[in-house]
Chains A and B, each alone.
Chain A
Amino acid sequence: SQTIHQWPATLVQPVGSPLSLECTVEGTSNPNLYWYRQAAGRGLQLLFYSVGIGQISSEVPQNLSASRPQDRQFILSSKKLLLSDSGFYLCAWGVRADTEAFFGQGTRLTVV
């Protein structure tokens, strides 16, 4: 069966520090991968999606970047965090031929 792992679950980082959140998927090949941010009162905002290794599309220009070094690995990064980067980050995957997205447990990021 397919599973998705996302870590860490919580993270407190100072302003200006770097960020790396990792997401891996098991049990499927060539999935579509997504990073979302869930800010209080604003719902889910799509940040990045990827349809293949090295293929990243950005939905919202910002202080973050994403990379897909392997088929089932998706990384969200920042060189210097801002206070406004605080939020709940969700990784998700979906199969092209299917229509459902499967979500990780999420990472609660607090920038202080």
Chain B
Amino acid sequence: AQRVTQPEKLLSVFKGAPVELKCNYSYSGSPELFWYVQYSRQRLQLLLRHISRESIKGFTADLNKGETSFHLKKPFAQEEDSAMYYCAPRDNYGQNFVFGPGTRLSVLP
């Protein structure tokens, strides 16, 4: 069965500190992998996707097929990064998104 885990419900870091939001998935085949973000009072929106290999707002995510992980990283956190982050694999048929439980990132001044 498809499964996504984000072990941390809440992650607090100080401004300027590195941050890593963990995501592990259990999927057959090779799913496409995404990170979505929801800032306060805003819509849930795409942050980055693995296939594009982009760095968005300083965030990157490395796919480790051996560990089936897709952790989100940023070397220097900013206060405006405080938000809810969801890891979301797309299943092999490309129809559905299964979202992880989410991690709330709080960047302290």
Partner-binding segment picked from B13-21, B57-65, B68-76, B91-99: B91-99
Contact of A43 among B46, B96, B99 (CB under 8 A): B99
Q: Is A27 an interface residue (CB 8 A)?
A: no
Query: Chain A: interface secondary structure?
Result: strand
Q: Are B95 and A32 in contact (CB under 8 A)?
A: yes
| Residue total for B at the interface (Cβ-Cβ under 8 A) | 23
Q: Are A44 and B86 in contact (CB under 8 A)?
A: yes
Given contacts A32-B95, A41-B9, A46-B96, are A100 and B101 in contact (CB under 8 A)?
no
Q: Mark A39-83, 1 if CB is under 8 A from B, else 0.
A: 001111110010100000001000000000000000000000000
Q: Are B44 and A103 in contact (CB under 8 A)?
A: yes
Q: Are A46 and B9 in contact (CB under 8 A)?
A: no
Q: Considering the complex, give the chain A residue whose CB is closest to the CB of B50.
A: A99
Given contacts A36-B99, A103-B45, are A96 and B86 in contact (CB under 8 A)?
no
Within A82-111, which residues are at the interface with B (CB < 8 Å)? 90, 92, 94, 96, 99-101, 103-106
Interface residues in chain A, defined as those with a beta carbon under 8 Å from any beta carbon in chain B: 32, 34, 36, 41-46, 49, 51, 59, 90, 92, 94, 96, 99-101, 103-106
